Structure 1
């Protein structure tokens, strides 16, 4: 059944009403890594020989031009990703964080996250991060099995994860998260169980769990094309995901988003901005941003980015988002949250539009299939994935396109 079309009044709008607000979230990309992992298709480059200080110069120029074009109000969340931002040395780290504070006013209770790889956060660097405002670290652990880590191109070992968490706590960080991966080449359920046990021993407030996706332009994709990447079958991967959900739930973690689990009060506030389809600044090489009804992607290469930032905003693409597209995005990303989407939030974003009228056909079909269910009452009324729908999330999200 075809999706219902929005009313003419909604189609006529040039931008999404709610997204006329100034972003209260900030993403910054540091594209350097110690090495390139076999599965990684992120915009990242091995740091050896790279013009890191020139990149930070360019990043400051983009900050200056960004706040001139769209002056910020109070920023509530910051996320520094990569790459591996913690390849910056303490001097570079201090310089970078000082620039962020100079151009973007942060709220007193802002969540300020930085991604890190185990082994790249010595005490001096952690001190620079704390002094610069960082209060949340997300470590890319991926596994606690050293053979698996080597097989996916990671250069750290399990002990480095444990030591890095200990160092972070010693430096005063309490809001810590690690990423774990499943569905890795030759990975067994027993290996995953062992990694999860060791991860839970760290007693962290947040865990992110991702299945391996074989992306183009990676070593794993070339191996996959040649039939040389021995991955678990689909049933094994589903069993891994269900086991992760069971154990983390039993350990007291809320499954608040398809891939994320947190103790109460520790859900990622920044990522929730994305899942609620709210606007955010995006700075750095290859960074994406969304503000005033327009999405942009920055130039990806390090030197091309540096050159472009010398004469203007370093944009690769700038794309206005129609109301219809924004409505679809709202549903696709919002249903990733276990609490789902609320009709009141939809109406607020889209000038009073009725979610049930806009998407009546697809909603009815998904309800009949048992993949979503009505949730909440009054202002909290909306829709969320059912237990059956959670492992079939991609099918649900795609239904709104």
Structure 2
């Protein structure tokens, strides 16, 4: 089938594989325990969604693909091959330097599966490690141990996958400053190109939320958690890593280009159960349940909801996600996305207030978080939530 190559189609794809070996205690993602799930039916439904999607919005050249979950690497070898072939068939035009990331859990990636992933185009793997103490891992519902981490990374390198990242978490139940320090030191010994280090958020509809409500979740206090963030920033900087986003650190040139698509408020295809997409000023979310998604994809795009984003909301989003990046927001990119409107005119009051409070600082291109703003990012983002909607109401 000849596909029209467009210049303004999304250049990024997110695909959701919603299956996990078990549900972690903190996880509120759209994921389901793998046992007895109709995995192959799901992958066929995903293939149909791809077909409907490219018919509606023909793809151009794809710069980044990110496969998240769930745990995409719980797919069996034949399932993984089928899935990767689907992607390549429907989105055949890949940039020569494409970044193709797949999330993985340590212990779900044998050498053969990693070789299948690499042959299918995956060139970046992000492992959910979270901590280097087995007792902490057990306490958050992870089923891997630290030995699995080292084995999985070795397997990946042995098949030629070298662009590797790991996730760590801080602010975990019973975690101390020393424990985080130990985890960061072990992570840095691996000499990887990229690290994501997040604070625990207690989300509704999780086991941790239930425990929190009952006062049974022994979390570090706010002062300790702030100390953890300062510690990890210092350690990463001392090791030569650039903090290019609030929670992400990379060697030069190894920042996640896919995530930058989100932070720059640019378009992306969103495929799979519960996936979000942003195409041509419209956001959508797909049906979340596996069987309902499979049934819906038999007859068309499996949408739960779709809405046009009005300009005010899009401009607020631009500021909230863009300021997560340490480079900050660009006045030129703002004008380009919003028909020549000037960032300083639109957000004059908010920016003046944040500059006065030393939470923002000017750059040659626009504005970024100050050192103080980095520690109180949520206060900065809160300045923009609904601000234009209220002004224009």
With the shorter chain as reference, the TM-score category is: over 0.9
Deviation at 1:158, TM superposition (A): 0.9
Gapped runs of 5+ residues in structure 2?
1-6, 386-393
* Match in the other structure for 1:77: 64
State whether structure 2 residue 278 is matched by structure 1 residue 294.
no
State whether structure 2 residue 235 is matched by structure 1 residue 247.
yes
Query: Which of 41, 48, 51 does residue 64 from structure 1 map onto?
Result: 51
Q: For the residues of structure 2 that align with 1:93 and 1:335, how far apart are their CA atoms? A: 36
Q: For the residues of structure 1 that align with 2:47 and 2:223, how far apart are their CA atoms? A: 48
Q: For the residues of structure 2 that align with 1:398 and 1:326, how far apart are their CA atoms? A: 15
State whether structure 2 residue 289 is matched by structure 1 residue 305.
no
Deviation at 1:90, TM superposition (A): 1.1
State whether structure 2 residue 197 is matched by structure 1 residue 213.
no
Q: For the residues of structure 1 that align with 2:179 and 2:358, how far apart are their CA atoms? A: 33
* Match in the other structure for 2:3: none
**TM-score, normalization by structure 1:** 0.94
Gapped runs of 5+ residues in structure 1?
1-19
After superposition, where does 1:128-207 map in structure 2 within 5 Å?
Answer: 128-207=116-195
* Match in the other structure for 2:21: 34
Deviation at 1:314, TM superposition (A): 0.2
Deviation at 1:50, TM superposition (A): 0.2
Q: For the residues of structure 2 that align with 1:168 and 1:123, how far apart are their CA atoms? A: 7
* Match in the other structure for 1:8: none
Q: For the residues of structure 2 that align with 1:181 and 1:328, how far apart are their CA atoms? A: 28
* Match in the other structure for 1:109: 97
State whether structure 2 residue 244 is matched by structure 1 residue 260.
no
* Match in the other structure for 2:366: 382
Q: Deviations over 1:65-104 (max 9, x none)?
A: 0000000001100000000000001111111001100001
Q: Does the 8 A contact of 2:194 with 2:255 survive in 1? A: yes
Q: Secondary structure at the match of 1:210?
A: strand
Q: Deviations over 1:175-215 (max 9, x none)?
A: 00000000000100000011111111110000000000000
Deviation at 1:319, TM superposition (A): 1.0
> Which structure exhibits the higher relative contact order, with contacts defined as CA atoms closer than 8 Å and separated by 6 or more residues?
1
Deviation at 1:398, TM superposition (A): 1.1
Q: For the residues of structure 2 that align with 1:148 and 1:123, how far apart are their CA atoms? A: 27
State whether structure 2 residue 303 is matched by structure 1 residue 315.
yes
* Match in the other structure for 2:260: 272
Deviation at 1:107, TM superposition (A): 1.2
State whether structure 2 residue 328 is matched by structure 1 residue 340.
yes
Q: Does the 8 A contact of 2:20 with 2:71 survive in 1? A: yes
Moved more, 295-304 or 87-96: 87-96
State whether structure 2 residue 87 is matched by structure 1 residue 100.
yes
* Match in the other structure for 2:74: 87
* Match in the other structure for 1:13: none
Query: Which of 27, 47, 57 does residue 34 from structure 2 map onto?
Result: 47
Q: Secondary structure at the match of 1:313?
A: coil
Q: For the residues of structure 2 that align with 1:239 and 1:99, how far apart are their CA atoms? A: 46
Aligned length: 378
Query: Which of 222, 243, 247 does residue 210 from structure 2 map onto?
Result: 222
* Match in the other structure for 2:383: 399
Instruction: Give the ranges of 4+ consecutive aligned residues of structure 1 lying more than 6 Å apart after TM superposition.
Output: none
State whether structure 2 residue 281 is matched by structure 1 residue 281.
no
After superposition, where does 1:361-376 map in structure 2 within 5 Å?
Answer: 361-376=349-364
Aligned alpha-carbon RMSD (Å): 0.7
Query: Which of 17, 21, 44 does residue 8 from structure 2 map onto?
Result: 21
Q: For the residues of structure 2 that align with 1:141 and 1:235, how far apart are their CA atoms? A: 25
After superposition, where does 1:120-135 map in structure 2 within 5 Å?
Answer: 120-135=108-123
Deviation at 1:21, TM superposition (A): 2.7
* Match in the other structure for 2:4: none
Query: Which of 324, 327, 330 does residue 318 from structure 2 map onto?
Result: 330
Q: For the residues of structure 1 that align with 2:290 and 2:177, how far apart are their CA atoms? A: 40
Deviation at 1:139, TM superposition (A): 0.2
**TM-score, normalization by structure 2:** 0.96
